[in-house]
């Protein structure tokens, strides 16, 4: 609820309309690109550059305004609540894919295998038996079935340890911020970034290994589809999170944050912990169980 | 400190308005952005309406007259998408933008620049939607989008390049809705004036709180669903192909997990408007305000978990079907309670019948009718007969046109004096009301009968036995469409001039609500409450 301090209303800004145009150009180019229309990749690159420019410009404006001390406590509450609801929507985005995985494993594939009152495989593909991970597809004409499924040991286990540790180092950095120890703050952030990059590299290697040695591809039927969709969107979020962490590290070096005023740090930390929790879900439901 | 916040007196009429086109393009003002939302919605209303009128012309008599089946299906798809995403949602968001900061005593929305981004994404999405129609006229782009707004695979996996444009239309709309919802929820939670406690909020604010929460929860699911569609189309995944272990029915679940709460996204803001209009013109406080809020919460929660009643015929297990049937029927309890509370508000009130009130009463009557057919459709054995017939078309048009569109019209007439500073012409308003309501009923009432007689929906042609009902429907449809020219005329006339509106043009508007919006001049100053008002 409002206090009597004056709420900061920004001056008219050109960033929103440029952002909207950038999104349009990027997606328009992407559509042409995936449909093999000539200029697609060029337009897509232009859109991507526009969005990059906006990120620098818009966030730069916000940082400037903050450093000028325009933001009162109520504005920073608005930012925090906004970030909270944004992460909530991200949670639902991931729940969608987890929900799909659940649906395939407990409803769709058993039905294909003839379970339940309306099991259909006897009509469509006689002899198909339900199993997970799905290696033998009902009809592999258009797909390339995998040779084997992902295990829970090895790289995924290491990645779990790495990502959980990165959560710990980030919290340690936060403690540093709280007790105004810049060294601890920056060191903690750098360790977090490094762990994020290692995670990214291992994940990239895992994909490479899966594609070449295991024959597990996006086109490998539903196991490959769900595997890459879930881990891929998670990987995308790790990438975004790492970029955010790098920005925050640089800003910490420049003494942008104080004990009271460090919304950006908190927002990135929440985001990183969210990515962390999603990984734990992935590890259990995609790799392990 | 920024220039924009220096004014501390909201009676100050020397506002520093930004001038020129930049005022609109770069706006951070909730009223200007609200106005842009409303204009966008009005344009889309005419686009969506025109496509509906073409559909009705085609169905005027059996046989294929004016559009070929593919164009018919394309127009049908776009009619729904334009009306749902282009018209009702932006209109609701525009009203939220205009009214919520004034109602809660805030200077503006919590995140003004984000607010502008939410708006400007809409014209981008609109352009992309139009591209999805246009692109099929180029050679080598495959069939036009012909799936209906539900985009069910496998048809949507097979259709041409237009579907890609549609998928990204939905992505942009989704981003826009999520950002708008985040902004509105944050505004309501964080920006209330001192003393504006939760249970002093006007019902409209409550309705948008729940709408915002729903949007935050459902739009990502639709985004996920259409992303999988995109991957199935272009990157060889098998989410919706049983040959690879997938399941086309999954998309229906995803779509309706979004789609059913979406109905409440469309409906709730209008219920909120009713919660202001009925007390105003009955000159009585809203009956059972607090329970009404809780029923709204119950509706929101129940609405999230009953989606599969749109898909009774897919072959779910008996347990699942039973669950979804019971859940759906349960929904009639909170909805019925809301309508009861409006009726009890009118009971022994000193009622007058200005245009907004006429719409208010019509909504209660006609929306109840949709509730009755809704319970019929919720019952599985009955639904197996009604499924995909015109009965369903009649049901959801009775739910959505009175339930949400008429609510928006009521709100337009209720708030036009506040927005423009001019009173609209009451006689014109009443003519519009009777014209639009009667023609609406003429359009959709016969569809109950053609549906029960077995006429399937979404098909360009029909068997001659349904000709009479369709003839009536089409005549009604033309009249209904044309009535909106009067609506446009009234709006333009009121914006341009007319009797000056006082700060509070409605005698009963502050009975039982805090009504902060009525303490401001009409039209309100550029910055509503630079310093928050105190609410007792």
Q: What is the CATH number of the domain that holds B254?
A: 1.20.210.10
Q: At a CB cut-off of 8 Å and minimum separation 6, what does B242 contact?
A: A108, A112, A124, A138, B248
Range of B368's domain?
A: 33-519
- Whether the CB of B20 is below 8 Å from some CB of chain A: the reply is no
Distance from the B132 Cα atom to the nearest Cα atom in chain A, whole angstroms = 11
- A201 - beta bridge partners? none
The angle, 0 to 180 degrees and rounded to 10, between the axes of the packed helices B390-400 and B426-452 is 160
- Whether the CB of B121 is below 8 Å from some CB of chain A: the reply is yes
pLDDT computed for residue B8 by the predictor: 41
Domain segments of chain A as ranges = 9-70, 75-288
Average pLDDT of chain B to the nearest whole number: 92
Residue A63 and residue A256 in contact, taking contact as beta carbons nearer than 8 Å = yes
The rounded distance, in Å, linking the Cα atoms of B38 and B98 is 10
pLDDT computed for residue A97 by the predictor: 97
- Whether the CB of B368 is below 8 Å from some CB of chain A: the reply is no
- Whether the CB of B217 is below 8 Å from some CB of chain A: the reply is yes
Beta strands in B361-467 (DSSP E): none
- Is the dihedral angle over the CA atoms B199, B200, B205, B209 positive or is it negative? negative
DSSP state of B142: -
Q: What percent of chain B has pLDDT over 90?
A: 86
Q: What is the DSSP string of A128-167?
A: ----SS--S-S--TTS---SSPPPSSSHHHHHHHHHHHHH
Chain B environment of A231 (Cβ under 8 Å): none
Q: How confident is residue B165, by pLDDT bands cut at 50, 70 and 90? A: very high
The answer on pLDDT for A114 being more than 90 is: no
pLDDT computed for residue A120 by the predictor: 61
The answer on pLDDT for A4 being more than 60 is: no
Highest mean pLDDT, choosing among A187-196, B143-152, B524-533: A187-196
The CATH classification number of A9-70 equals 1.10.287
- Nearest Cα residue to B356 out of B230, B490, B164: B490
Contacts by B482-489, CB closer than 8 A, 24 or more apart: B483/B432, B483/B435, B483/B436, B483/B439, B484/B45, B484/B46, B484/B49, B484/B436, B486/B428, B486/B431, B486/B432, B486/B435, B487/B409, B487/B432, B487/B436, B488/B42, B488/B46, B489/B428
Asked, for residue B528, whether it belongs to a domain, the answer is no
Q: At a CB cut-off of 8 Å and minimum separation 6, what does A182 contact?
A: A176, A252, A255
The rounded distance, in Å, linking the Cα atoms of B361 and B374 is 20
pLDDT computed for residue B484 by the predictor: 97
pLDDT computed for residue A176 by the predictor: 94
Binary contact (A2, B225; C-beta < 8 A)? no
Residue B80 and residue B262 in contact, taking contact as beta carbons nearer than 8 Å = no
Asked, for residue B148, whether it belongs to a domain, the answer is yes
Binary contact (A2, B254; C-beta < 8 A)? no
Binary contact (A7, B106; C-beta < 8 A)? yes
pLDDT computed for residue B26 by the predictor: 93
Binary contact (A23, B254; C-beta < 8 A)? no
Tell how far CA A37 is from the center of its chain: 29
Chain B environment of A108 (Cβ under 8 Å): 242, 245-247, 249-250
Chain B environment of A63 (Cβ under 8 Å): none
Distance from the B455 Cα atom to the nearest Cα atom in chain A, whole angstroms = 28
* Digit-coded pLDDT (tens) for B73-86: 999 999 999 999 99
- B456 - beta bridge partners? B389
The rounded distance, in Å, linking the Cα atoms of B261 and B367 is 17
- Measured CA to CA in angstroms, residue A1 lies from B179, B198, B294 at distances of 21, 10, 21
Asked, for residue B535, whether it belongs to a domain, the answer is no
Total domains present in chain B = 1
pLDDT computed for residue A119 by the predictor: 58
pTM: 0.94
The rounded distance, in Å, linking the Cα atoms of B132 and B418 is 38
The answer on pLDDT for B7 being more than 50 is: no
Q: How confident is residue B518, by pLDDT bands cut at 50, 70 and 90? A: very high
Average pLDDT of chain A to the nearest whole number: 91
Q: What percent of chain A has pLDDT over 90?
A: 72
Asked, for residue B366, whether it belongs to a domain, the answer is yes
Tell how far CA B270 is from the center of its chain: 8
Helix (H/G/I), strand (E/B), else coil: A27? helix
* Digit-coded pLDDT (tens) for A222-232: 999 999 999 99
ipTM above 0.85, yes or no: yes
The answer on pLDDT for B512 being more than 60 is: yes
Asked, for residue B2, whether it belongs to a domain, the answer is no
- B422 - beta bridge partners? B500
Identify which of B172, B219, B246 has the shortest CB distance to residue A23. Answer: B172
Domain A75-288: which CATH number of 1.25.40.10, 1.10.10.10, 1.20.120.80, 2.60.120.10: 1.20.120.80
- Whether the CB of B134 is below 8 Å from some CB of chain A: the reply is no
Pick from A79-88, A140-149, B57-66: least confident: A140-149
- Whether the CB of B238 is below 8 Å from some CB of chain A: the reply is yes
Distance from the A104 Cα atom to the nearest Cα atom in chain B, whole angstroms = 7
């Amino acid at each position: 609820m409002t206090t009597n301090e004056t709420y900061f209303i920004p001056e008219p800004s050109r960033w929103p309309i440029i952002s909207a145009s950038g999104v349009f150009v990027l997606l328009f180019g992407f559509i042409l690109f995936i449909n093999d229309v000539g200029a697609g990749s060029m337009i897509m690159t232009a859109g991507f550059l526009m969005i990059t420019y906006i990120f620098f410009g818009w966030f730069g404006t916000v940082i400037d305004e903050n450093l000028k001390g325009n933001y009162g406590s109520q504005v920073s509450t608005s930012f925090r609540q906004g970030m909270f609801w944004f992460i909530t929507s991200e949670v639902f985005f991931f729940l969608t894919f987890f929900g799909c995985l659940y649906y395939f494993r407990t409803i769709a594939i058993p039905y294909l295998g003839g379970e339940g009152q309306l099991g259909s495989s006897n009509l469509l593909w006689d002899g198909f038996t339900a199993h997970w991970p799905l290696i033998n597809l009902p009809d592999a004409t258009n797909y390339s079935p995998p040779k084997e499924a992902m295990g829970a040991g090895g790289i995924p286990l290491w990645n779990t340890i790495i990502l959980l540790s990165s959560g710990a180092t980030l919290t340690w950095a936060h403690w540093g911020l709280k007790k105004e120890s810049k060294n601890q703050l920056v060191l903690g952030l750098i360790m977090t970034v490094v762990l994020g990059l290692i995670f990214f590299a291992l994940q990239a290697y895992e994909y490479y290994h899966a594609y070449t040695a295991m024959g597990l591809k996006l086109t490998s039927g539903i196991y490959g589809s769900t595997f890459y969709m879930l881990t891929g969107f998670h990987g995308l979020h790790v990438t975004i999170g790492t970029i955010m962490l790098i920005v925050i590290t640089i800003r910490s070096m420049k003494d942008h944050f104080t004990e009271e005023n460090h919304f950006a740090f908190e927002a990135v930390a929440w985001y990183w912990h969210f990515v962390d929790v999603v990984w734990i879900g992935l590890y259990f439901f995609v790799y392990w169980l | 400190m920024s220039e924009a916040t220096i004014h501390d007196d909201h009676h100050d009429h020397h506002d520093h308005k930004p001038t020129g086109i930049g005022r609109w393009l770069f706006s951070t003002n909730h009223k200007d952005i609200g106005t842009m939302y409303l204009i966008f919605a009005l344009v889309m209303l005419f686009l969506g309406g025109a496509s509906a009128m073409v559909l009705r012309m085609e169905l005027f008599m059996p046989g294929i007259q004016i559009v070929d089946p593919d164009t018919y299906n394309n127009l049908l798809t776009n009619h729904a998408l334009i009306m749902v995403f282009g018209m009702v949602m932006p209109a609701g968001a525009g009203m939220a933008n205009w009214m919520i900061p004034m109602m809660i005593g805030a200077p503006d929305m919590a995140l003004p620049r984000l607010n502008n981004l939410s708006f400007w994404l809409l014209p981008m999405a609109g352009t992309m939607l139009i591209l999805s129609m246009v692109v099929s006229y180029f050679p080598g782009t495959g069939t036009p989008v012909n799936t209906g707004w539900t985009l069910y695979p496998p048809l949507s996996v097979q259709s041409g390049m237009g579907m890609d444009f549609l998928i990204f239309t939905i992505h942009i709309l989704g981003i826009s809705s999520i950002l708008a919802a985040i902004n509105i929820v944050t505004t309501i939670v964080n920006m209330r004036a001192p003393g504006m406690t939760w249970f002093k909020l006007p019902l409209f604010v409550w309705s948008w709180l729940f709408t915002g929460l729903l949007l935050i929860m459902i739009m990502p699911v639709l985004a996920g669903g259409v992303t999988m569609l995109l991957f199935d189309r272009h990157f060889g995944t098998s989410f919706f192909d049983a040959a690879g272990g997938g399941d086309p029915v999954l998309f229906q679940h995803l779509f309706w997990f979004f789609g059913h709460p979406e109905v409440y996204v469309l409906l709730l803001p209008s219920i909120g408007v009713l919660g202001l209009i009925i007390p105003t013109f009955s000159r009585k406080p809203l009956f059972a305000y607090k329970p009404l809020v809780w029923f709204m919460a119950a509706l929101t929660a129940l609405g999230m978990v009953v989606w599969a009643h749109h898909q009774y015929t897919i072959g779910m297990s008996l347990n699942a079907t039973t669950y979804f049937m019971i859940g759906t029927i349960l929904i009639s309890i909170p909805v019925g309670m809301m309508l009861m509370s409006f009726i009890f508000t009118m009971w022994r009130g000193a009622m007058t019948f200005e245009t907004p009130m006429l719409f208010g009463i019509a909504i209660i009557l006609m929306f109840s009718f949709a509730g009755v057919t809704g319970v019929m459709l919720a019952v599985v054995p009955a639904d197996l007969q009604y499924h995909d017939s015109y009965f369903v078309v009649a049901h959801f048009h009775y739910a959505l046109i009175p339930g949400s569109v008429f609510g928006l019209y009521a709100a337009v007439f209720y708030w036009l004096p506040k927005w423009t500073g001019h009173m609209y012409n009451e006689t014109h308003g009443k003519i519009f009301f009777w014209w639009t309501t009667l023609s609406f009923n003429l359009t959709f009432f016969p569809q109950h009968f053609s549906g029960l007689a077995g006429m399937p929906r979404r098909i360009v042609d029909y068997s001659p036995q349904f000709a009479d009902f369709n003839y009536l429907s089409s005549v009604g449809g033309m009249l209904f469409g044309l009535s909106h020219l009067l609506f446009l005329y009234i709006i333009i006339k009121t914006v341009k001039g007319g009797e000056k509106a006082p700060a509070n043009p409605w005698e009963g508007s502050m009975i039982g609500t805090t009504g902060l919006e009525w303490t401001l001049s009409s039209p309100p100053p550029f910055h509503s409450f630079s310093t928050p008002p105190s609410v007792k």
